[in-house]
Chain A
Amino acid sequence: MADQDLDHMLKRMAQSKVNRRGFLWASGLSASAAALAACSPGATASPSSAAAPSAAASGAAPSDAASPSAVAEAVENELFMLNWGDYVDPDNMKQFQADFKVDKFTYDTFASNEELLTKLQGGAKGQYDISAPTAEFVPGMVEQGFLQKIDWTKVPNGKYIEEPFKNLWWDPKNEYQLPKDWGTTGISVRTKIVKEEVRTWKQFFEVAPKYSGRIVLVDSPGDVFVAPLKALGYSLNSVDEKELGEARDLLMKLAPHVLALDSDQYNTKIETEEAVLGLTWTGGIVELRDKPETADVAYYIPEDGTLFWMDTWVILADAPHPKAAHAFLNFIHGPEAQAKETMTNGYATCNSEAKKYIDPKVLADPAIFVPDDVLKKLEGAQDVSTNPLRIQIWEEFKSSIG
């Protein structure tokens, strides 16, 4: 299932205030320190051996009172999830169904946070139990009454959330969301064809005309805006008219060279060399490096800065199966389930305990678990998706690619 794309759109993490951002960097450091600690030789020996049997019986996590079975009280026998396509490890889903006797697990998908909002607005409210919006969309969803508070007594595994991921601006009191995973938006390159160095957004725009018609971008305004704004040295959350105007010019110059806006198959396009340069997420890209014919694929976190996003689990208002929803949240945040999620989806977890069960190779991958010096260059997202100028530029860009 590894090549299944991540369907992510609009991944943004956000810091609205400078001091908060400072806080994040400090805590980001500790997070990655934990990551480094977890993949030190001493720490890796036991998890890898423990991971094997746990796949068979996840209910019996060693020495852990908060394993899924510990809270396997009776829940409803149905669960309705509205999520990005293929964003939960299928084994985890099966395991959850078996553990909690959930006969009917409905997994419907959306392609963007906006589509999720449209669906909730358009009659899906009260039909689904769980969803996974990107963090900065949470406040808007709370405001519109789409979410309900999480009952943390039913989600004891919430204790594994690492400190840096708590009390962030979109959910200051940790009431509405459970961090799902996080990642970056960067540059994917077929180095055997693109000989130039493309390690910054500035270089990305410079070499683009040379590889005209072979450039793929994710179909997500929040991510695409990162490139021009960062290349120009501005904040990726800019809503300044002048700055956005300059960004627009860069984008419109790029437009004729773009092969496609594609959040679903950007990895396939890179794999088949249909595209040789991409503005992508890591999902579906990192595993290409392990195949001999695509070993030349590189994923760079641009040195002039990029986006750091986080997706969150939320329980929807009027959820028809609240017990099952809470049980699922707790289950999926169990260390082993969480480790499986990371290895399947290719995005970093916010679960400290899970890192013990993650393949050290994945844990050491700077494209997934970003090293702290790189982390400093990242910027979280604010909810600027409703800015009219950005919407207008995005439309203009989208209608003039190719």
Chain B
Amino acid sequence: MTTMAEAAPVRAVQPRRSFRSAALTGLLLLPASLWYLVLLVAPLAIIVLFSFGERGKNGGYAGGFTFDNYVGALERNTPFVTSLAMALAGTVLCLFLALPLAYFIATRAGRRKSLLIVLLVVPFWTSFLIRTYAWLTILGPEGLGGFIGDVIGDPAFRLLGTPFSILLGVVYGYLPLMVFPIYVTMERMDRNLVEASKDLGAGRWATFRQITLPITLPGLVTGSILVFIPLMGEYVVPAILGYGRVFLIGNQLVLQFLEARDWPAGAAKAVILILIMLVSIVFYLWFSYRGRKTREVSVL
């Protein structure tokens, strides 16, 4: 434990690094590494393995090597398309709701800034399940849905089980994830730039467009990716508010693993979903790398 004090950043690797130091490092990392290996790498590896297998007679997995599961997943891809559409729509909606909100908190909240941030965090850290089912009562036949139905005189009118209710549910659930990064970039923005812009005679909108927005862009992208990813794999919201009418990949996965007990088919879809996530992430990393360079230029 002699070098514990080096548990501080930067230049951690020093020439006088001894064997004991290396052992300590290993010891510190051992539990987490084991945890990841057994409960993250192994399960995901099994899923990849199973995705090339065949369904057992009584369900489950029965060995084999085939691409049928992938072919099947790509042939009947409605849930993927629906999920993609929902995730994109949800992300755009979050963006439109979050941008003015973050802007307001970052530039106009003044002393109440801390309070507003806390108020934003509080619902986010409470149970997603509870926050979602609350909409059942609000949108249900004895709530808003029934009310609108009465007003327009259509007894078949409803809100639950429509794409609207799903969008509402996911936007509600993930909005804070969009607000946080945008807020942080906006708050860190150098106000002098804005003033300089004004001094140089730029109008309000020109300033907003040319200064505020570009500087905020990394935040927007981060927020979008943070929202898009969980939306793609959403399960709870359609399960509760969807009446099974909006069928996303998450629901498809549960159907295949639990009901059809066709683990290989489900595994293939899970792998495809993970690949979609990875592509989004790669895009994001590419963008933020590029974005960093442009930002440096613009600041200069």
A contacts B directly in the complex (CB < 8 Å)?
A: yes
Q: Is the CB of A212 within 8 A of B156?
A: yes
Give the residue name and chain of the B residue nearest to A400 (CB).
Answer: B78
Distance A260 CA – B245 CA, assembled complex (angstroms):
7
> B258 and A391: CB pair below 8 A?
no
Do A402 and B245 touch across chains, with their CB atoms under 8 A apart? yes
Q: Is B141's CB within 8 Å of the partner chain A?
A: yes
For B54-79 the 0/1 string (1 means CB < 8 A from A) is: 01011110000000000000001011
Residue in B141, B162, B259, B261 whose CB lies within 8 Å of A274 = B141
- Tell me which of A272, A394, A402 contacts B142 (CB under 8 A): A272
A153: Cβ under 8 A from any B Cβ? no
Known: A399-B247, A402-B243. A214 touches B255 (CB 8 A): no
* Complex contacts, B255 vs chain A, CB 8 Å: 395, 398
Give CA–CA (A394, B252) in the complex, Å: 11
A contact residues around B260 at 8 Å (CB): 114, 391, 394-395
Q: Are B58 and A273 in contact (CB under 8 A)?
A: no
Tally of contact residues, B, Cβ under 8 A = 30
Report which of B155, B243, B244 forms a contact with A273, defined as CB distance below 8 A.
Answer: B155
Q: Does B161 sit within 8 A of A, measured CB to CB?
A: yes
> What chain A residues lie within 8 Å of B252 (beta carbons)?
395, 399
Q: Interface on chain B toward A: helix, strand, loop, or mixed SS?
A: loop
B246, A402: Cβ atoms closer than 8 Å: yes
Instruction: Give CA–CA (A395, B244) in the complex, Å.
Output: 12
Say yes or no: is A83 at the interface (Cβ < 8 Å to chain B): no
A-facing mask of B249-273, CB < 8 A → 1, else 0?
A: 0001001111111100000000000
Q: Is the CB of A386 within 8 A of B59?
A: yes
Chain B: CB-nearest residue to A256: B245
Q: How far is the CA of A112 from the CA of B254 in the complex (A)?
A: 13
Could you mark each residue 385-398 of chain A with 1 if its beta carbon is under 8 Å from any beta carbon of chain B, else 0? 01010010011101
Interface residue? B131 (CB, 8 A)? no
In angstroms, Cα B259 to Cα A328, docked, is: 29
Most B Cβ at <10 Å: residue of A258, A261, A274: A274
Given A143-B58, A395-B76, A118-B261 contact (CB < 8 Å)? yes
Q: Does A213 contact B (CB under 8 A)?
A: yes
Identify which of residues 182-229 in chain A touch chain B, using a CB-to-CB cut-off of 8 Å.
Answer: 211-214, 219, 221
- Find out whether the CB atom of B247 lies under 8 angstroms from the CB atom of A386: no
Q: How far apart are the CA atoms of A394 and B261 in the complex, in Å?
A: 13
When the two chains form their complex, are residues B244 and A219 in contact, meaning their CB atoms are under 8 A apart?
yes
- Judge if A318 is at the interface, Cβ distance under 8 Å: no
The answer for the CA separation of A144 and B56 in the assembled complex, in Å, is: 12
Interface flags for A248-262 (1: CB within 8 Å of B; 0: not) read 000000000011111
A400 to B59, CA, bound (A): 24
Contact code string A27-47 (vs B, CB < 8 Å = 1, else 0)? 000000000000000000000
* Known contacts A395-B260, A398-B244, A213 near B78 by CB under 8 Å: no
Q: Cβ of B79 and Cβ of A399 under 8 Å apart?
A: yes
Chain B min CB distance to A387 (Å): 11
* Cα–Cα distance between A328 and B257 once the two chains are bound (Å): 32
**A274 surroundings in chain B (CB, below 8 A):** 141, 158
User: 0/1 per residue, B69-92, Cβ < 8 Å to A?
Assistant: 000000010110010000000000
Q: CA–CA, A91 to B252, complex, Å?
A: 38
A115 within 8 A of B: yes
Secondary structure class of chain A's binding surface, majority of residues? mixed
Chain B nearest CB from A402 CB (Å) reads 3
Name the A residues within 8 Å of B76 (CB-CB).
395-396, 399
- CA separation between A114 and B60, bound complex, in Å? 11
Q: How distant is the Cα of A63 from the Cα of B136 in the complex, in angstroms?
A: 52
Chain B min CB distance to A281 (Å)? 18
**Pair A213/B158 contact, Cβ less than 8 Å:** yes
Report whether B156 and A117 are in contact in the complex, using a CB–CB cutoff of 8 Å.
Answer: no
Nearest-neighbour CB distance to chain A for B13, whole angstroms, equals 43
A274→B60 CA distance, assembly (Å): 37
Tell me, rounded to whole Å, the shortest Cβ–Cβ distance linking A390 to chain B.
10
Q: Are B261 and A117 in contact (CB under 8 A)?
A: yes
Are A114 and B258 interface neighbours, CB within 8 A? yes
Interface members, chain B 187-210 (any A CB < 8 Å): none
Q: Residues of A contacting B161 with CB < 8 Å?
A: 259-260, 402
* A272-B141 CB under 8 A given contacts A117-B59, A398-B244: yes
Closest B-chain residue to A110, C-beta based? Answer: B258
Query: Considering the complex, which residues of chain A in the window 70-123 have a beta carbon less than 8 Å from any beta carbon of chain B?
Result: 112, 114-115, 117-118, 121
Chain A residues with CB under 8 Å of B258's CB are 112, 114-115, 118
Q: CB-CB < 8 A to A143: which residues of B? A: 58
In the assembly, what is the distance between CA of A140 and CA of B58, in Å?
7
Q: Does A260 contact B243, Cβ atoms closer than 8 Å?
A: yes
Q: Contact flags (1/0) for A359-402 with B, using CB distance below 8 Å?
A: 00000000000000000000000000010100100111011111
Nearest A residue (CB) for B155: A273
Known: A212-B156, A213-B156, A399-B247. A121 touches B78 (CB 8 A): no
Chain B proximity of A113: nearest CB distance (Å): 9
Q: Is there an interface contact between B244 and A262, defined as CB atoms closer than 8 Å?
A: yes
Q: Which residues of B contact A259 (CB under 8 A)?
A: 158, 161, 243, 245
Interface string of B149-163 (1 = CB under 8 A from A): 000000110100110
27 A-B contact pairs sorted by A residue (CB < 8 Å): A114-B59, A114-B258, A114-B260, A118-B59, A118-B257, A121-B261, A143-B58, A144-B58, A213-B156, A214-B155, A219-B244, A259-B158, A260-B243, A260-B245, A272-B142, A274-B141, A386-B57, A391-B262, A394-B259, A394-B260, A396-B76, A398-B244, A398-B255, A399-B252, A402-B161, A402-B162, A402-B246
A residues with CB within 8 A of B: 112, 114-115, 117-118, 121, 140, 143-144, 211-214, 219, 221, 258-262, 272-274, 386, 388, 391, 394-396, 398-402
5 extra interface residue pairs, beta carbon distance < 8 Å, beyond A258-B245, A395-B260, A399-B79: A259-B161, A259-B245, A260-B161, A272-B142, A401-B244
The chain B residues found within 8 Å of chain A, CB to CB, are 55, 57-60, 76, 78-79, 82, 141-142, 155-156, 158, 161-162, 243-247, 252, 255-262
Task: Across the A-B interface, give the 9 residue pairs with the lowest CB-CB distance, nearest first.
Answer: A402-B245, A260-B243, A399-B247, A261-B244, A391-B260, A213-B156, A114-B259, A274-B141, A118-B258
